[in-house]
Chains A and B, each alone.
Chain A
């Protein structure tokens, strides 16, 4: 799993079968200090995250296992809210949307 911040929302009406209930969010992966690391991507949201939240996501085929319908073409899913990260560097749980 990888830490990320939710930075946006993607609206899509037409989806592949089994994805009717899914919500899609833009997430920005973070490093251990909470700084943006790498390119933003879109993930299915399995936990109801909001913009600005720090979350962790799973990528690859395992991502679909977090969703109600498991046989779906999803390669990244938000699977947890992060309350706190034990890190020597300050790590804000909420904050300005990185890259916004």
Chain B
């Protein structure tokens, strides 16, 4: 999975009919040092993520393995909201400290 911050929402009325009702978010990918990368993905939200939250998303055919996305043309699904992470035993990012 890749980790990123939700930086935007996508509104689309004209789309594949099977995607009706799916919430689409723009995620800016971050590295393990919490550095924002110049890389973005549009992902289906399966956990109720909000703007500004750090999330994990699954890409490729794994993205279809939720009740909401099964059989639908999606290749990125937000499947977890991140509370904190550490690298080498040191906390790198913590939601509480934002």
Interfacial residues, chain A to chain B (CB-CB below 8 A): 7-17, 19, 24, 26, 28, 39-44, 51, 60-61, 63-64, 71-76, 96-97, 99-100
Contact = CB atoms under 8 A, between A and B. Distances in A.
Nearest to B63: A73
Contacts of A76: 1
Contacts of B21: none
B85 A26 contact: yes
Contacts, number: 111
Contacts of A97: 87-88
Interface in B7-30: none
Given A73-B64, A76-B1, 18 more contacts: A7-B88, A11-B85, A12-B83, A13-B81, A13-B83, A14-B81, A16-B66, A16-B77, A24-B56, A24-B80, A26-B87, A61-B65, A72-B65, A73-B77, A74-B62, A75-B1, A75-B60, A100-B90
Interface of B: 1-3, 31-33, 46-48, 56, 58-67, 69, 77, 79-90, 92
A73 B79 contact: yes
B32 A60 contact: no
